[in-house]
Structures are given as structure tokens and as C-alpha cells.
Structure 1
Amino acid sequence: MDLLKELLSTDFRDLDRRALDLWLGTLAQVKPDMLARPTPCPDWTLHGLIRHQLNQDAGFAAAARGEGARPSVWRGADLGDDPHAAAAASADRVTAAFAAAGPRDEFHLPEIGDGTAVPASLAIGFHLVDAVVHAWDAAVTIGVPWEPDAELVEASLRVAAIVPEDGRTPGEAFAPPVPAAAGAGPRDRLLALLGRSPAWR
């Protein structure tokens, strides 16, 4: 079975929720004075990174309801006074939307390209990668461990291998791949595949 067929036949919903819990566990350690810190995404402070993930949650949830083609649903997230609470509510909404989606549903993902629609399994896999890797972005920004389990890393690596490179530029959510160090483990290979240096500080 080739990689794409394998991904299309995988139900990522439970793994996606675990990825969101990893993300939320990191955000629980964020203090208000950390929100202005720079992150590995050069154009985003930590506040901007969190807002981006909330926008992704909202967009993917809308896509699961058949409304993802409207660009406005991918913008406008508000962290309010409690970013962790906002992220937790956002995670619950996207989890519920994914639970209601059928395996043969198609999600419109305009961030990949106008008119682009992908099967639900693959779309949820893309969201999984977002949550896992942005959890690293947040963790390294505030200096706490990033500890996804081996199954999350392996699933993320498989999905990341087909994330389009077209349009990936520095400053976007995912930059072009960078070389991984010789003998790098799965976590570091995942980061390198999505344009991150594990040595970033």
C-alpha cells in the first residue's frame, strides 16, 4: 500500500485529539508575560502562534461542516483574557466537528489552494500535524519539554511527508524543509521536514 492510500484509510480522529491535548498541555504553562516572545515562526509572537492555531481549529471545524471554502472562517480568532481557556474551547469544537464528519466527506482547504478539497481522513491528518508541531513551537518558546508519544510522531511524519512544499516560505506556518542531522531521531526529522531547527532557542 502506498503512503497516500494508507493515509486515506486511516482514522486520525483519536490521534488528533491527543495532539490537541499535547498542545493544550503546553499552553497551560504559558504566563501572560510570555505572549510577546518570538517563536520559531519568524512573523509570529507566541500570541500570534496561538491565534493561528485557533484559526486553524475554526477553519477545519467549518470544513468538517462543509463550510471551509469561505476564507473568513479561517480568520478572526480571539484569545480573550485567557488564551488557554480559548484554546481548550477551540479544541473541543474542532474535535466535535471531526466526530460528526463521515470518512468519505471532503474538506475544503483554501489555505492549500483555491477550490482545494481533500478527503476527511487526510484533512484531519493535516490538522494533527498542525497541533503537534505548533506544540513544539510553543514549548521551545517558553522553555518547557515537548514530549509527543511515538505514535503521534510517527503519524505526523507520515502526513508531513505529503504536505505540499509549494508556497512554503519563511514566516509561514511551515517553512521549506531543512536538513536533518545525521542520525536524527523521528522527532527531529519531523521538525526538519517542516522547516524547523531542533536547536532553535
Structure 2
Amino acid sequence: MELTELYARSVDLAAEVVDTVRPEHLELATPCGDWTLRRLMGHIVGQHQGFAAAARGAGPDLALWADAPIDDDPPGAFRRTADDLKAAFVEAEVADRKLWLPEIRDGGPFPLHMAVGFQLVDTLVHGWDVAAALGSPSGIAAAVDGDPVLAEALLTVSELVPAGPGNRGPERAFRERRPQGDAYGSFDRALALLGRDPAWTPQN
């Protein structure tokens, strides 16, 4: 299965979670440091817009990656921008275009398959972040664990995320790797690789 197809599958799973977000949920705590769910949703939508711009040939302009304002329809904002990004990835594939990703390492350019892999991980992990904030993180994890090809792609890219001290920390996208429990499934192992606590709850 093509990586772009796996990415589309990751969007479908995350969208099922985001569809349950209501305006009254937006001030909930999330696993992302001190981010509220509103801030997390703004980041997710902003990343969709940034990746789409890069896929259509934009250069290293960080303004294109700014967090998006979130109104009372988070599911609509997620789906609209995710659908646009899926279309942009297809356009980049046809054009054989590399992508400038100014938030990653030196900015690029990156081959399309790497950019899609980065976004696949972000989509699934942030989908879990949203689910955890809502108190129901097990569904998306079980869905990925039940799809061996998608689970393998998630783990493969998660293992490639640099783990050196200059790349991890409270102000970085990911924290230090956590021990991977023997009983963990593939999704929880990926979370641990990225510094997430698979047992996170709002009370942690």
C-alpha cells in the first residue's frame, strides 16, 4: 500500500476522534504540555495548512505554518484542511516535487515520502492526544494495532525521530523516549518512542 494511502487512513481514524470534539471541550488539558485542546486543534489545523502549502511548492516561510484560530466547529476545520492536504500530496506526487518543511531540521527540501511519513505520525499521535483529552484514547490505538501495515509505518517513522538531547525536551515537539513495556501494542510503543506516556490522563 502506498504511503499516501496509509496517510489517508490515518486521517480517517483521527477524524473519527475529532468529530466528537465540542466547543465545551476546547479548554480541556491534553498530553501536550500545557496546551489546551483548543491550542492543540489550532496546531493540527495549522500543520495541515503548512504541509499543503509546502506540497504546492511554497518555500521556507514559517508564517504558513502558524497555528490556526479555532472556532466552534473543530471537526469541520480538521476535515476541510485534511482533505486539502491529501489533495496537495497527490499534486506533489504527480509533479515529483520535494517539500520545504521549515520546522524540521534545516528545512529541507524533503522527499515527498518523508513528508507524508512525518504527517502520518503527527496525525495519529495528535489524534490520540485529542482522544486522551476526551478520556477515550484506547479506540484509535486499537484501530491502528488492528491494521498491521499502518502500525508498521507508524513505528518505522517514530523510530527515525532523532533522540539526541538537542532534539527532545519540554519545548520541543517530542520529549525524551520512555521505556517500552513488554505488554505494549504497536501504537503504545510508538507513543513511548516519541516521549508520550500511553497511560496519560488529565490527572497525571
TM-score scaled by structure 1? 0.89
Q: Which runs of 5+ in 1 are unaligned?
A: 1-9
Q: Which runs of 5+ in 2 are unaligned?
A: none
Letter aligned with residue 191 of structure 1: L
2:132 corresponds to which residue?
140
Aligned residues: 192
For residues 199 and 107 of structure 2, the distance between their equivalents in structure 1, rounded to whole angstroms, comes to 37
1:60 corresponds to which residue?
51
CA RMSD of aligned residues (A): 1.7
Please show how residues 95-134 of structure 1 align to structure 2 within 5 Å: 95-102=86-93, 104-134=96-126
The alpha carbon displacement at 1:68 in A equals: 4.3
Letter aligned with residue 197 of structure 1: D
* Mean Cα deviation higher: 99-108 or 21-30: 99-108
Letter aligned with residue 54 of structure 2: A
Task: Detail structure 1 runs of 4+ shifted over 3 Å in the superposition.
Answer: none
1:150 corresponds to which residue?
148
Matched, 1:174 2:190: no
For residues 154 and 196 of structure 1, the distance between their equivalents in structure 2, rounded to whole angstroms, comes to 18
Matched, 1:162 2:153: no
Matched, 1:74 2:74: no
For residues 39 and 67 of structure 2, the distance between their equivalents in structure 1, rounded to whole angstroms, comes to 12
Percent of aligned positions with the same letter in both sequences? 43
For residues 59 and 14 of structure 2, the distance between their equivalents in structure 1, rounded to whole angstroms, comes to 23
The alpha carbon displacement at 1:181 in A equals: 1.2
The alpha carbon displacement at 1:172 in A equals: 3.7
The alpha carbon displacement at 1:66 in A equals: 1.4
Contact 2:44 2:67 in 1 (8 A): no
2:194 corresponds to which residue?
194
Contact 2:192 2:198 in 1 (8 A): yes
One of 14, 27, 35 as aligned partner of 1:44: 35
- Judging changes above 3 Å, is the alpha-carbon distance between structure 1 residues 30 and 58 closer, same or farther for their aligned structure 2 residues? same
The alpha carbon displacement at 1:11 in A equals: 3.5
